[in-house]
């Protein structure tokens, strides 16, 4: 039966009179805004944490400087060493991840097989806290060796857990290097899968990627919806970093070089053994094993870096084009081949250093442990690395050089270094006030959080229109000064943390610092704006 429109209205009012009787409301200011391409203009649309590794968001800095920070090495290092009779060497190339389902840290690390030349044994360890490790019995021999791909010359594996994978037998994915026919002419980089990270099966087609004789590091690129991998250039194998990508983890694109050597690398004759990537705060980070001055000669006081490795950083906004990170942040590509004091710049760019020679367990070389996702523990990011108390070519030279047919295996281990959350680069001001002003940005949100240490100083924030004029109610004078240290300060204007009036409009943020360090900022959404009705 069809009713006339008036009957519908009458019916609704009779049976839903509380709604009809509701008092009309007026939406609070700023509740509804327009946003289109004309309003956005050339402003940067941002979301999530914003770090200051590069200058992509920075319009101007006055009286402030950027500073690279090194993670602090754990005092009880190394956290894992060779301590079982079946571990002939190592740990070597390693992968570490945290499994949130099992609440377990998982570590795969290589030892060289004493019975098979150029072949690694893949070992496995677990931990509940990332510090105390257990080596479980995984086979009839009672060792912690996984069932690795049964391929000649297996080595240099890189692993990640693919949470997107629908096939449970391919939950864990691996790239590894091998010599399928046992000779160097068959060198290749190959693919393997596992349901649990313990039982591995190599893909039948072994020739997947041109060979890389150092660790290949695969992961999923959510932005590009493809698998990517970072590995050594070659053949012929050269110590620079290349990138390849795949739609199915089986067919891989030709390599492109993303980190060639530049003038920055000439003074210490630096080459790149490998790069371990991870994605964090909207950017890509690469931890590089920077190898200096390959030589069989002794280490000298004039060149203490000879035949040693430490860790440097690279940074990318898109995962494809990369730049090096130095003492004052990312170094634009156009500057990397200019005329500067590159020796000092290279020495200041160390992210994780090797230890003090002949005194610390990691004095010779340090290499990154690949972590496909950042290891975030509380308000820290943890970095793991492999350290050795010997030069890179200790097998040939010892230290000092000597010809020894049976050189003693050096002590090796996995070390841990801890960094403040988002603490890679800070923007610092001393006793004189300084400012950092962003480019024009647009965000959605109602709260501004910042990571900063203003102990003994102060930090305030003001919001500016795109033309640089202060926005009423959001000036530096309206801002409650931040005078403490926290990775999650809430900015307040007139003692009110709600800044939704700033959302969806082009603005600039100006940070005022004195005796303070700023690490990052983040627009957040923490309130509920439900309205029962309105005009």
Q: What is the per-residue DSSP string for 242-303? A: EEEEESSSSSBPPPEEEE---GGGTTTTEEEEEEEEEEETTEEEEEEEEEE---SSPP-SS-
Residue 483 buriedness (CB in 10 A; 0-12 / 13-18 / 19+): middle
pLDDT at 407: 58
The answer to whether 314 touches 322, Cβ cutoff 8 Å, is: yes
Whether the bond between 235 and the residue before it is cis, its omega within 30 degrees of 0, is: yes
Q: Is the dihedral of CA 259, 366, 74, 103 positive or negative?
A: positive
User: Per residue in 471-521, pLDDT tens?
Assistant: 999 999 999 999 999 999 999 999 999 999 999 999 999 999 999 999 999
The beta-carbon contacts of 253-259 under 8 Å, at least 24 apart in sequence, are 255/209, 255/210, 255/231, 256/320, 257/233, 258/230, 258/316, 258/320, 258/321, 258/322, 259/286, 259/288, 259/314, 259/322, 259/324
Domain residue spans of the chain: 37-69+426-524, 72-422
Give the CATH fold of the 72-422 domain. Answer: Tachylectin-2; Chain A (2.115.10)
Whole-model pTM?
A: 0.93
The answer to whether 343 touches 304, Cβ cutoff 8 Å, is: no
pLDDT at 404: 52
Residue of 106, 118, 111 lying closest to 196 (CA atoms): 106
pLDDT at 366: 97
Q: How many residues does the chain have?
A: 535
Ranges of residues in the chain whose predicted pLDDT is under 70: 1-24, 397-408, 534-535
List phi, psi (to 5°) of 68: -75, 140
Class of the CATH-defined domain 37-69+426-524: mainly beta
The answer to whether 286 touches 300, Cβ cutoff 8 Å, is: no
pLDDT at 8: 38
Q: Coil, helix or strand for 529?
A: coil
**Distance from C-alpha of 89 to C-alpha of 7, rounded to nearest angstrom:** 87
**Distance from C-alpha of 177 to C-alpha of 122, rounded to nearest angstrom:** 13
**Distance from C-alpha of 104 to C-alpha of 286, rounded to nearest angstrom:** 24
Place of tokens 């995984």: 138
pLDDT at 398: 59
């Amino acid at each position: 039966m069809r009713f006339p429109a008036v009957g519908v209205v009458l019916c609704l009012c009779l049976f839903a009179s509380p709604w009809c009787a509701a008092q009309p409301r007026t939406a609070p200011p700023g509740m509804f805004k327009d946003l289109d391409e004309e309003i956005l203009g050339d402003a940067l649309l941002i979301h999530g944490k914003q770090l200051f590794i590069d200058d992509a968001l920075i319009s101007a800095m006055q009286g402030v400087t950027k500073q690279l920070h090194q993670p602090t090495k754990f005092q009880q290092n190394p956290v894992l060493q060779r301590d079982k009779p079946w571990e002939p060497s190592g740990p070597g190339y390693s992968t570490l991840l945290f499994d949130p389902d099992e609440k377990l840290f998982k570590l795969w690390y290589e030892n060289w097989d004493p019975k098979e030349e150029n072949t690694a044994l893949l070992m496995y360890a677990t931990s509940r806290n990332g510090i105390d490790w257990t080596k479980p019995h995984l086979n009839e021999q009672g060792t912690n060796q996984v069932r690795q791909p049964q391929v000649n010359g297996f080595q240099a594996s890189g692993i990640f857990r693919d949470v997107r994978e629908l096939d449970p037998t391919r939950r864990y994915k691996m790239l590894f290097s091998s010599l399928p026919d046992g000779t160097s002419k068959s060198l290749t980089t190959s693919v393997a899968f596992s349901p649990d990270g313990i039982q591995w099966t190599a893909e039948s087609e072994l020739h997947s990627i041109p060979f890389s004789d150092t660790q290949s590091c695969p992961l999923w690129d959510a932005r590009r919806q493809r698998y990517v991998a970072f590995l050594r250039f070659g053949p012929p194998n050269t110590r620079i970093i290349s990138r390849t990508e795949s739609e199915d983890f089986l067919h891989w694109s030709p390599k492109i070089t993303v980190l060639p050597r530049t003038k920055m690398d000439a003074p210490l004759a630096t080459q790149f053994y490998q790069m371990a990537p991870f994605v964090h705060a909207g950017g890509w980070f690469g931890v590089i094993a920077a190898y200096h001055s390959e030589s069989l000669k002794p280490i000298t006081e004039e060149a203490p870096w000879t035949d040693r490795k430490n860790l440097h950083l690279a940074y990318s906004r898109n995962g494809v084009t990369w730049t090096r990170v130095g003492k004052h942040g990312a170094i634009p590509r156009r500057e990397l081949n200019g005329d500067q004091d590159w020796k000092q710049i290279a020495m200041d760019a160390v992210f994780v250093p090797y230890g003090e020679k002949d005194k610390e367990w990691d004095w010779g070389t340090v290499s990154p442990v690949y972590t496909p996702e950042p290891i975030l523990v509380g308000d820290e990011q943890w970095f793991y690395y492999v350290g050795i108390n010997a030069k890179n070519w200790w097998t040939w030279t010892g230290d000092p050089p000597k010809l020894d047919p049976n050189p003693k295996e050096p002590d090796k281990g996995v070390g841990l270094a801890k960094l403040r959350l988002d603490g890679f680069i800070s923007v610092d001001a001393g006793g004189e006030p300084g400012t950092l002003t962003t480019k024009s940005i647009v965000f959605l949100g109602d709260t501004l959080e910042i990571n900063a240490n203003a102990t003994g100083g102060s930090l305030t924030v003001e919001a500016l229109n795109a033309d640089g004029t202060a926005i009423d109610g959001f000036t530096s004078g309206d801002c409650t000064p931040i005078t403490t240290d926290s990775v999650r300060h809430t900015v307040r204007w007139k003692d009110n943390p709600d800044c939704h009036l700033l959302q969806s409009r082009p603005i600039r943020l100006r940070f005022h610092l004195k005796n303070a360090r700023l690490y990052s900022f983040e627009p957040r959404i923490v309130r509920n704006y439900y309205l029962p009705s309105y005009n």
